[in-house]
Amino acid sequence: MRSGQSLVLLLVFFAVAMTVTAAAVAVIVSNTQSSSSQELGLLAYQVAESGAEDALIHLIRNPNFTSGGYTLTVGPGQATITVSGTTTKTITSTGVQGSYQRLVQITASNASGLISVTTWNEIYP
């Protein structure tokens, strides 16, 4: 090897190693952010479900219950619930966790004091 060739070879190896390391760090950061977003979305969905279940409890206790909107705090999240209808009730619950929001809608009917859930869906805006 000539004088200076080993220095150039070392610099090339160092540049390749730094590129591979930077790419690996970028992938790890991206995966971590994606996992955090997915978890917050799931928590928002669980908050919405909790709000819907709370409204069902209100309907079991009072079959004539309706609400233009009330809120329920679930951990750090919050659900906003509306209940409308006469014999067939429509429950809409919006769960918010951080900047994430999920919406659950339920239709239920009351026949002879028995609450029957006919649909339970997540609504995508």
Q: With b meaning 16 or more CB within 10 Å and e meaning fewer, what string describes 8-33?
A: eeeeeeeeeeeeeeeeeeeeeeeeee
Q: Please give the Cα distance from 68 to 23 (Å, whole number).
A: 51
Domain containing 100 equals 5-123
Query: Which CATH number covers residue 27?
Result: 3.30.1300.30
Question: Model confidence at 122, in pLDDT bands (50, 70, 90)?
Answer: very high
CB neighbour list of residue 70: distance below 8 Å, 6 or more residues apart: 80, 81
Q: What is the pLDDT of residues 48-68, one digit of tens each?
A: 999 999 999 999 888 888 888
Domain count, the chain: 1
Compute the average pLDDT of residues 1-17: 81
Q: What is the pLDDT of residues 65-120, one digit of tens each?
A: 888 899 999 999 999 999 999 889 999 999 999 889 999 999 999 877 788 999 99
Pick the residue with more confidence: 25 or 82? 82
User: pTM of the prediction?
Assistant: 0.72
